[in-house]
Structure 1
Amino acid sequence: MFRWIVAGFFAAWPFAASGDPLLRSSDATIRVGNLMPYTGQLAAFGAIGRAEAAYFRMLNERGGINGRTVEFISYDDSSDPLQAVDLTRNLVEAENALFVFGSFGTPSNLAVRKYLNEKRIPQLFVASGDDQWANPKDFPWTMGWPPAFRTEGRIFANYIQAYYPEKKIGVLWQNDEFGRDLFRGMQEGLGDAARMIVADTAFDATDRSLGAQLDLLHKSGVEILVFDGAPAMAAQVIRRLGESGWHPVLILDNAAASIANALRPGGLENAIGVISTAFLKDGSDPAWKDDVAMKEYLAFMDRYYPEGDKEDSYAVFGYAVAETLAQVLRQCGDDFSRENVMQQAQSLKNFRSSVTLPGIAITTSPSDFRPVKEMRLVQFDGRSWQPIGQLFDNAFTGPGGASGTTGNAR
């Protein structure tokens, strides 16, 4: 079992006695619990947790939060919901975590949501775009962080209608909540034009090959292939298409658009022209070479996460969401009760992470539990992701314009 604690220079972590670990003014630490898939099929996403650990290490070296260090206690659940239940209980009942932060994936977070809400323990900034993290009425202690999967599906639908209104669409989707949400959003976005979808086929995250599914889509005459799944499978699709005579327009979900974990393994030359979405800056994009914030991020990677890949979008994700949590904790002042942590999480006003795209501001409220709402379409040019249009949430009006824009993306 992977266990990772970040607590300052000497890795000292005094645990409180059993009971409700509400921080008092004499406490020197803020205990933060986390689950990540450091092993297993989705291990690529473990870079999120490693970047978060590195961020809190940097933060502690700089004095911590309001005079307190952050203890980041991260367990490996291999994206197994059964493990997630046991490990979350251990984080709360044995490790005395004040709250759970940034845990990855839909199934694992759903498995522990009821437990955390019944105990009134914040389940903050879940690393999943499922709509279920934005339900403050029924689950007031659970909040997501990235844009919704359904929003991304609607973005793809509107883009296709604007640029390829007569093309046949095929959808290759992961058979879980993640895959279903994006596919549902795409169908909603297409509306009556959903007839453009001539074939769709699902796969399990444990499948070793997608050959049969791709052959089915090819035989169906698909001209636009929308892939919704994990990066390892995306790499397989990119490579297979590059080696075949079938070259549909390929659209990847944001989670599968990592240069480090999908495009490079699939062959960068094969990925030229691929479409996706983005809400974070791309560490490989020369457009950010003079950006102060990205210089700071790259310096952070060199010093605190040197084994990480600077082109790994999951590392950028971890850095950005850790910045957001740091803001919440600063707003807590000297009151680190669970109630106040949750109150501050729903009181963010135009907070801007240094590595989200310009124009994206995070605002939350007691009725708005979706911190990051905007994305933009991007296309891979063989080296980095280049923008298509401007920032928008779910509507695209056609070549050269967007509705729902929040300002220029760059």
Structure 2
Amino acid sequence: EQARKLVESDEVLLIFNPLGTPPNTAIQKYLNTKKVPQLFVATGATKWNDPKDFPWTMGWQPNYQSESAIYAKYILKNKPDAKIAVLYQNDDYGKDYLKGFKDGLGDKAASMIIVEESYEVSQPTIDSNIVKLKSLNADVFFNVSTPKFAAQAIKKMNEIGWKPMHFLNGVSSSIGSVIKPAGFENSQDIISSNYLKDPTDAEWKNDAGMKAWNEFLDKYYPEANRTDIFVMYAYTVAQGLEHVLKASGDNLTRANVMKQAASIKDLQLGGLLPGIKVNTSATDFAPISQVQLMRLKGETWERFGEILSDDVGG
């Protein structure tokens, strides 16, 4: 109803960065029928990259299947005899990660994954799910959860002394909204991935992109929580929109906006990790498809290895 109001009474040019897989799924057909850009959606579901069937919907961040396939390949290389427990949210978001992870493990998936445990987003807590997973003696844990549940899982694992190799989906890698509330001491050596510069990492102290971000916040959003990666996410995706609007020039039609959004070549933005660029085409609606693995050390993430990409589901 809110999307309908924006389109039919406010007559907006486009709907930018709407959040969440189920809400975006609910408005996707409507916006495509109305030919209104559903631009740079704030969810990494793989299905936003479908220009043939949904030419008015475009993703932004690396898709969930690619991200989880990268974790799977790391496990195959570094712990080939792993007994893996997967916890996932019981919706399109969780299932997308699970599919990419199984695709990444290939024919080893059936023997390596010893349990797939789902939880409902309406649950107040996932403590009992974590207790169950520990009882099965898994030594690798793939944690597909949103920030509130991710913090609960990390705390509970520490409480009951379960210390598997822990992979945490990038959605929940924020120091400010997940790791700090869960406790730094409980989060050591968790592996995740990112494509954005982490504002808590001293490595970027003198970085031009980070300086520009801080100056922007000083001017427009001084009360921002600067340890929260989502603030960097918002700034970077907004720069993506700025690029598209500038490229559209004076021809601000919905069709031209989508045409420019689908013609981005090697766009470098200040908040992206070095080497990660934004690219789209008429047949590729996945603007960012690279990540780098990182491991929690002390109170910050340490990146390791090279920039990785995986075109699962792309």
Task: Return the TM-score normalized by structure 1.
Answer: 0.74
**Residues in 2 aligned to 1:364 and 1:333: alpha-carbon distance in whole angstroms:** 19
- In the TM superposition, residue 306 of structure 1 has moved relative to its aligned partner by 2.0
Q: In structure 2, what is the equivalent of residue 181 of structure 1?
A: 96
Matches within 5 A, 1:399-410: none
Instruction: Give the RMSD, CA atoms, in angstroms.
Output: 1.1
Deviations 1:5-59 (A, max 9, x none): xxxxxxxxxxxxxxxxxxxxxxxxxxxxxxxxxxxxxxxxxxxxxxxxxxxxxxx
**Residues in 2 aligned to 1:287 and 1:200: alpha-carbon distance in whole angstroms:** 37
Matches within 5 A, 1:46-85: none
- In the TM superposition, residue 248 of structure 1 has moved relative to its aligned partner by 1.1
Looking at secondary structure, tell me which structure has more helix per residue. 2
**Does 2:270 correspond to 1:354?**
yes
**Does 2:199 correspond to 1:291?**
no
- In the TM superposition, residue 279 of structure 1 has moved relative to its aligned partner by 0.3
**Which of 152, 157, 177 is the matching residue for 1:261?**
177
**Does 2:42 correspond to 1:127?**
yes
**Residues in 2 aligned to 1:248 and 1:208: alpha-carbon distance in whole angstroms:** 24
**Residues in 1 aligned to 2:140 and 2:284: alpha-carbon distance in whole angstroms:** 34
**Residues in 2 aligned to 1:109 and 1:298: alpha-carbon distance in whole angstroms:** 31
**Which of 131, 144, 163 is the matching residue for 1:247?**
163
**Residues in 2 aligned to 1:318 and 1:130: alpha-carbon distance in whole angstroms:** 18
**Which of 78, 81, 91 is the matching residue for 1:166?**
81
Does structure 2 conserve the Cα–Cα contact (< 8 Å) formed by 1:169 and 1:199? yes
SS across alignment from 2:293: strand
Q: In structure 1, what is the equivalent of residue 146 of structure 2?
A: 230
**Residues in 1 aligned to 2:308 and 2:293: alpha-carbon distance in whole angstroms:** 9
Runs of 4+ residues over 3 Å off in structure 1:
none
Q: In structure 1, what is the equivalent of residue 305 of structure 2?
A: 389
Does structure 2 conserve the Cα–Cα contact (< 8 Å) formed by 1:223 and 1:249? yes
**Does 2:195 correspond to 1:279?**
yes
SS across alignment from 2:149: helix
Structure 1 segments unaligned to the other structure (5+ residues): 1-85, 396-410
What letter is aligned with 2:91? D
**Does 2:126 correspond to 1:210?**
yes
SS across alignment from 1:129: coil
Structure 2 segments unaligned to the other structure (5+ residues): none
- In the TM superposition, residue 262 of structure 1 has moved relative to its aligned partner by 0.7
- In the TM superposition, residue 309 of structure 1 has moved relative to its aligned partner by 0.9
Q: In structure 2, what is the equivalent of residue 374 of structure 1?
A: 290
SS across alignment from 2:40: strand
**Residues in 1 aligned to 2:137 and 2:211: alpha-carbon distance in whole angstroms:** 45
What letter is aligned with 2:160? S
SS across alignment from 1:126: coil
**Residues in 2 aligned to 1:203 and 1:132: alpha-carbon distance in whole angstroms:** 22
**Residues in 2 aligned to 1:275 and 1:221: alpha-carbon distance in whole angstroms:** 19
Does structure 2 conserve the Cα–Cα contact (< 8 Å) formed by 1:200 and 1:217? no
- In the TM superposition, residue 219 of structure 1 has moved relative to its aligned partner by 1.1
What letter is aligned with 2:50? N
Does structure 2 conserve the Cα–Cα contact (< 8 Å) formed by 1:131 and 1:148? yes
SS across alignment from 2:81: coil
Q: In structure 2, what is the equivalent of residue 301 of structure 1?
A: 217
What letter is aligned with 1:150? Q
Q: In structure 1, what is the equivalent of residue 257 of structure 2?
A: 341
Does structure 1 conserve the Cα–Cα contact (< 8 Å) formed by 2:289 and 2:310? no
Does structure 2 conserve the Cα–Cα contact (< 8 Å) formed by 1:259 and 1:312? yes
**Residues in 2 aligned to 1:374 and 1:89: alpha-carbon distance in whole angstroms:** 34
**Residues in 2 aligned to 1:214 and 1:359: alpha-carbon distance in whole angstroms:** 37
Q: In structure 2, what is the equivalent of residue 6 of structure 1?
A: none
Q: In structure 1, what is the equivalent of residue 57 of structure 2?
A: 142
What letter is aligned with 1:375? V
What letter is aligned with 2:195? F
Does structure 1 conserve the Cα–Cα contact (< 8 Å) formed by 2:61 and 2:289? yes
Does structure 1 conserve the Cα–Cα contact (< 8 Å) formed by 2:131 and 2:160? no
**Residues in 2 aligned to 1:144 and 1:343: alpha-carbon distance in whole angstroms:** 14
- In the TM superposition, residue 303 of structure 1 has moved relative to its aligned partner by 2.6
* Number of residue equivalences: 310
Task: Return the TM-score normalized by structure 2.
Answer: 0.96
**Residues in 1 aligned to 2:94 and 2:123: alpha-carbon distance in whole angstroms:** 15
- In the TM superposition, residue 205 of structure 1 has moved relative to its aligned partner by 1.1
**Residues in 1 aligned to 2:297 and 2:215: alpha-carbon distance in whole angstroms:** 25
- In the TM superposition, residue 350 of structure 1 has moved relative to its aligned partner by 0.8
Q: In structure 1, what is the equivalent of residue 68 of structure 2?
A: 153
Q: Which deviates further from its counterpart, 205-214 or 247-256?
A: 205-214
**Residues in 2 aligned to 1:269 and 1:233: alpha-carbon distance in whole angstroms:** 18
